[in-house]
Amino acid sequence: MENEKRTDRNSWAELDENRLSDILTASQIKATDTYETPPQIIWIDNSTIATLGNFSASTGKAKAKKTFNVSAIVAASLAGRQVLNYRAHLPEGKRRILYVDTEQSRFHCHNVLERILRLAGLPTTTDNENLDFICLREYTPAVRIGVIDYALRQNKGYGLVIIDGIRDLMLDINSTSESVEVINKMMEWSSKYDLHIHCVLHLNKGDNNVRGHIGTEMSNKAETVLVITKSAENPVISEVHALHIREKEFKPFAFSVDDEGLPVMVDNYSFDGSVRPKARSSFMDLSIEQHREALSAAFGDRPIKGFENVLQALMASYEAIGFKRGRSVMIKLLQYLTENLKLIVKRDKLFYYDVTPTEALLFDEECEDAEGEK
């Protein structure tokens, strides 16, 4: 730490007087100067969360669906329309987007790219000229920073840059000098190239603080910090709040992932952790992910023998995801799972495989008796 302080303290000595004079002159703010308001590019409701020349961040714990949330931000910016609760408009000459992923494999990066295009209503079979997606998982932090810097120097008209995994631009997340260096890069890039940078960083596992010294620096300097959290009552729902925002605070909203693997708004959501009663209440309104969560809880890694035992297990597991119903409804649900979702019936044992939506379950032939017990 002492070496870090010594280096920071003495680095100015490497600048000659002409360079220092130029910086001093360029840094002066005068009463006679005029400045344009930074162009606003992304909104939630009527609150501005992103402007050109600044940076922002999304944060949340593991599996909170941070990347799904960022996908919606990018799709809204790419399409110039509302996606989830995000509205976006990139000005002329700033329509291009650079998405940098530092964590995931190329396979999973491609899934994110495809999700963005689908959310934006664009074809997934052709490359979009306004979206560049790069995967830097296998490189060192120094190389990642260098590649991003090189990409921005190409002057490709970027208006929005996503860095999904800002932690991976440094070796030590708690290093003071590295944190300051990375945040300074965010400020330099966003100002020099007149663009907006949105970063993704994890929350601590044990509390709701942003991870490491980089998290502290980011919270102090960012224009907006969004926090994405799982609903305490229904883990398939993610909530989006403002942890920090310079503009007026927006009303929190919630989203889930639909059967197509796309984030969708949860309407009438109450932030006491529940969904207010709505007209629709059928098990057919549950998403594939909700069914899979309930079935995983019911079966785990073990078979269940006997129709009544299966029924009781399903009643308990579906109640856990907020779908509490009586025996008659659960019998119809079981029939729905085997017929409408094309689930497979097999002799002797009833058990669950968590694989694909259409080939997820193997049921004992006793399930066919459900029709007779209505």
CATH dotted code for 35-263: 3.40.50.300
DSSP letter assigned to residue 345: E
Q: How many CB atoms lie within 10 A of CB 173?
A: 17
| Comma-separated ranges of CATH 1.10.10 domains in the chain | 286-359
| Comma-separated ranges of CATH 3.40.50.300 domains in the chain | 35-263
| Residue 27 token pair | 């840094």
pLDDT tens-digit profile of 83-98?
Answer: 999 999 999 999 999 9
pLDDT tens-digit profile of 54-70?
Answer: 999 999 888 889 999 99
With tokens 């009303």, the residue in question is: 251
pLDDT tens-digit profile of 5-49?
Answer: 344 545 655 667 777 787 787 778 777 766 566 789 999 988 999
CATH 1.10.10, domain 286-359, yes or no: yes
How many Å apart are CA 86 and CA 72, to the nearest integer? Answer: 7
Highest mean pLDDT: which range of 120-124, 179-183, 300-304: 120-124
How many Å apart are CA 58 and CA 326, to the nearest integer? Answer: 41
DSSP secondary structure letters along 165-230: TGGGGSS-TT-HHHHHHHHHHHHHHHHHTT-EEEEEEEBPSSSSSBSHHHHHHHHHH-SEEEEEEE
For the entire predicted model, the pTM comes to: 0.67
